[in-house]
Amino acid sequence: MNDVKERIAAELAAVRGRSLTYTDAEDDLLLRQHSALMSPLVWDLAHVGNYEELWVLREAGGITPLRPEIDDIYDAFKHPRRDRPSLPILGPAEARRYISGVRGRVLDVLDAIDLEDPDPLRRGGFVFGLVIQHEHQHDETMLATLQLSRQPGLVRDGQLPPGRAVEPEEVFVPAGPFVMGTDTLPWAYDNERPAHRVELPAYWIDRLPVGNAAYIAFIEDGGYDDPRWWSAEGWRWRQESRAFAPLFWTREGGAWWRNRFGRMEPVPVDEPVQHVCWYEADAYARWAGKRLPTEAEWEKACGWDPEAERSRRYPWGDEDPGPGRANLGHRAARPAPLGAYPAGASAYGAEQMIGEVWEWTDSWFLPHPGFRSFPYREYSEVFFGSDYRVLRGGSWAADPAVVRTTFRNWDYPIRRQIFSGFRCARSASPEQA
């Protein structure tokens, strides 16, 4: 158990270092609201500390509350993001002191806790996985805020492997059952549970995410101006938003450019497209003569091992992600070129399903059969219904701690500030099936 505690302590240190890096800026930038879609960065910073206090110190550790007077301020369900600048939030220096004080006590709880305790919050260190993943998710939100700020020089960049030509462009997934979700992954959220059998007909799915070159072809073929390719709701969004390309793209001198963390650069044609909403992804798929995959189709193509008849933790197997398998953990502030990770292929041959971009699916965010809320309704249950579309896979900004073949993300179909892209699918013909 000491090894488990050491790993948890290392994960806690790593995610906190990431949070502090993203908030190492002038106070004005941290306090400013860069978009009504996002909180001020300093709200996110103090919120992750308050979440730790609530769950590790109070719920799991039984410790007297440190700052109960700020609970309401940092309750994400009481205050929409657009309203948070008007709250009496902690300033940058006070927020850093607060989260540091909480973290010191969290490590004391970790040292004392019995990881074999039958309580599901304590058993196996679930509560620590809860707060680690929560903070990583807010770190990705902070990156989206930094992108919206368009301030140069705030986000590190890095090297990625080169891409390669990949053929054929689709992989075939035969008809048959698979097991969706999980009962065994220790830090899996309630919405990933329970594991259940799903029967699917045969289908084809793109080997790679849709790239910028292909998306530019859609734009230049008049895709944004032709209502044939858009659902009724999507066409209303297109007209109201006046969108003409992915968010942050502009057309200058006959070429496409993008603003990436305050830097203008030519759109790289060999990268997966990102910053597109569900309506844009759906319109492209219709234009291409395909459709978006259902969530079940996506998960089967990503994680099912038909020979072993079991789900893999990652597309390639159960081994942890490394730099040769997936673009995760902000190795660089962008998707890797298409074809960069052949070693990360799934059993069916689909590539780059983990990392790069969150991939829109055709499914609404709904519970798995037999779902039970844990440890609180507001993580998943209150979002179920026909308001949110499911995204899968994890982006380049997602940390490996929050990425697995069963992980489910969700957002409104209009959202584009997130690091979102997609791949297409199509049903197999009766002859192929």
- Work out how many domains the chain is built from and give that number: 2
Residues 218 and 320 in one domain: yes
Whether residue 258 is annotated as binding a ligand: the answer is: no
Residues 133 and 162 in one domain: no
Look at residue 430 in the predicted model and tell me its pLDDT: 83
- CA atoms 420, 8, 184, 346: torsion sign: positive
Residues 140 and 171 in one domain: no
Residues 190 and 128 in one domain: no
Domain boundary residue, one of 149, 178, 213: 149
Whether residue 7 is annotated as binding a ligand: the answer is: no
Give yes or no for a contact between 427 and 201, defined as CB atoms under 8 angstroms apart. yes
Residue with tokens 């009962």: 183
Mean pLDDT, rounded, of the chain: 96
CATH number for the domain spanning 110: value is 1.20.120
- Residue 151 pLDDT > 90, yes or no? no
- Residue 244 pLDDT > 70, yes or no? yes
Give yes or no for a contact between 125 and 301, defined as CB atoms under 8 angstroms apart. no
- Residue 416 pLDDT > 70, yes or no? yes
For 349, left (φ over 0), alpha (ψ -120 to 50), or beta? left
- Residue 412 pLDDT > 70, yes or no? yes
Kindly report the pTM of this predicted structure: 0.97
Residues 160 and 208 in one domain: yes
Cα–Cα distance for residue pair 195/180, rounded to 1 Å: 5
DSSP 132: H
Residues 112 and 260 in one domain: no
**Tens digits of per-residue pLDDT, 93-128?**
999 999 999 999 999 999 999 999 999 999 999 999
Residues 6+ apart with CB under 8 A from 375: 55, 59, 120, 121, 130, 190
Give the chain's length: 433
Structure tokens at 29: 């930038």
Whether residue 75 is annotated as binding a ligand: the answer is: no
* % of the chain at pLDDT higher than 90: 96
Question: For 171, phi and psi rounded to 5 degrees?
Answer: -120, 150
Domain boundary residue, one of 129, 149, 169: 149
Look at residue 303 in the predicted model and tell me its pLDDT: 98
Whether residue 81 is annotated as binding a ligand: the answer is: yes
DSSP 229: G
Residues 172 and 115 in one domain: no
Neighbouring CB atoms inside 10 A of 217's CB total 14
Question: Per-residue confidence at 432, pLDDT binned at 50, 70, 90?
Answer: confident
- Residue 153 pLDDT > 80, yes or no? no
Residues 6+ apart with CB under 8 A from 387: 364, 365, 412
Residues 78 and 196 in one domain: no
Structure tokens at 309: 């008849």
Residues 137 and 211 in one domain: no
Residue 22's nearest CA partner among 43, 36, 8 is 43
Which uninterrupted H or E stretch holds 260?
strand 255-260
Question: Per-residue confidence at 55, pLDDT binned at 50, 70, 90?
Answer: very high
CATH number for the domain spanning 250: value is 3.90.1580.10
Greater confidence (354 vs 433) lies with 354
CA distances 203 to 164, 170, 185, 217, 364, Å, are 25, 10, 28, 25, 20
Residue 388 amino acid letter: Y
- Residue 1 pLDDT > 70, yes or no? no
Point out which residues pair with 234 in neighbouring strands.
none
CA distances 285 to 226, 228, 290, Å, are 14, 12, 5
DSSP 263: E
Whether residue 84 is annotated as binding a ligand: the answer is: yes
Domain boundary residue, one of 117, 149, 181: 149
Residues 211 and 138 in one domain: no
Whether residue 82 is annotated as binding a ligand: the answer is: yes
Residues 249 and 336 in one domain: yes
**Tens digits of per-residue pLDDT, 250-304?**
999 999 999 999 999 999 999 999 999 999 999 999 999 999 999 999 999 999 9
Cα–Cα distance for residue pair 202/326, rounded to 1 Å: 27
Structure tokens at 125: 């260190």
Domain that holds residue 363: 156-433
Give yes or no for a contact between 209 and 352, defined as CB atoms under 8 angstroms apart. yes
Whether residue 108 is annotated as binding a ligand: the answer is: no
Residues 165 and 144 in one domain: no
